[in-house]
Structures are given as C-alpha cells and as structure tokens.
Amino acid sequence: MLLYLFLSLGFAGIPSGVSLTNLKGESVQAKQYTDNVILFVNVASRCGYTRQYKGLQELYEKYKDRGLVIMGVPCNQFGGQEPGSPKEIQTFCSKNYGVSFPLLEKQDVNGDNRSPLYKTLIKDGANIKWNFEKILVDKSGKTIARFPSSTAPLSEDLTKKIEAALGRKK
C-alpha cells in the first residue's frame, strides 16, 4: 500500500506535496533529505543506458557528503525494459553496479498514470523521452535542470549544475 507523506513547501529537496515510497514499499521520510539536492533518474535494468548506473554511483559517492542524493525511479514504460519485481531490481542494481543510492518504487513517468512525483517534477507536462533521463531538484524542492538520457552522469554540464546547486564546499 502506498503510504502518503505530505510535505510543506520547501521542506527537504523533495518537491512539496509529493509522497514517495522506496523499492521495499516503505514510506520515504522527507526529513532525511533536508537541505539536499536531488537528482531523480528514471532507470531500467535492460536498457542500452543501464551502464549509467556505474556513473550514477560514482557521482553519488563524489557528492553525497556535500548533500547530493540520487534517487533511482524504476520505470517500465520504455520498451518494457524494467520488468523486474522490486527485489529483482534491487538485487540487479546492487550486484552489478554496487548501487547504494535510494531506489523508489516502480512508477510511470508519462501518460495518464504519470506518478505524482513526475507530475510535480515536470510542470510543463513534457514527456520523458527515454530511460535514464535526469531531473535535478534544488534544496527547496524546485526543478532546476533536466538532462537527456545521453548525458553521462559525470558529464561536465551535469556536474557543474550539481556543484552550483550544492553551493560552496564546506
């Protein structure tokens, strides 16, 4: 059952009014993401871009101590490339790529059943074009940048936006 977590405006890096559930079916507690920059990525295990999990994990390791969180959002809308159960997805990501960043429950990112998260992230209603599209959200929960699937996780463009959103090193 989906548990709802209603967030006030600007609370954590999670967009306001959005409930999140992790891959294990547990409610994501927004307070643990207070003052974080979040990179949401719709992911899939059988995609040509699946190898980006490696770069996403490296990006997470590089910036997590400064406040970056990567949230993988499994989605099966693009060629059925994420058919696995939650346990299969978690095992695949851990075993093959050492993923330690959070993974949310599988959800639709487009169409009539677009998840509340993606409705909030994409205010203009534009569709996600493919797996591994990236959406960067600032510390107040506002979408500040969107990157196509072809953007490598460690690309200069993406890392510059992340660094700007994180602010100065402490």
Q: Which residues does the annotation mark as catalytic?
A: 47
Looking at residue 106, what DSSP letter applies?
P
Of 103, 100, 111, the C-alpha closest to 44 is 103
- Using DSSP bridges, classify how beta strands 37-43 and 134-137 pair: parallel, antiparallel or unpaired: antiparallel
DSSP string over 36-63: -EEEEEEE-TTSTTTTHHHHHHHHHHHH
What is the b/e burial string over 59-92, where b = at least 16 CB atoms within 10 angstroms of the residue's CB?
A: bbeebeebbbbbbbbbbbbbeebbebeeeebbeb
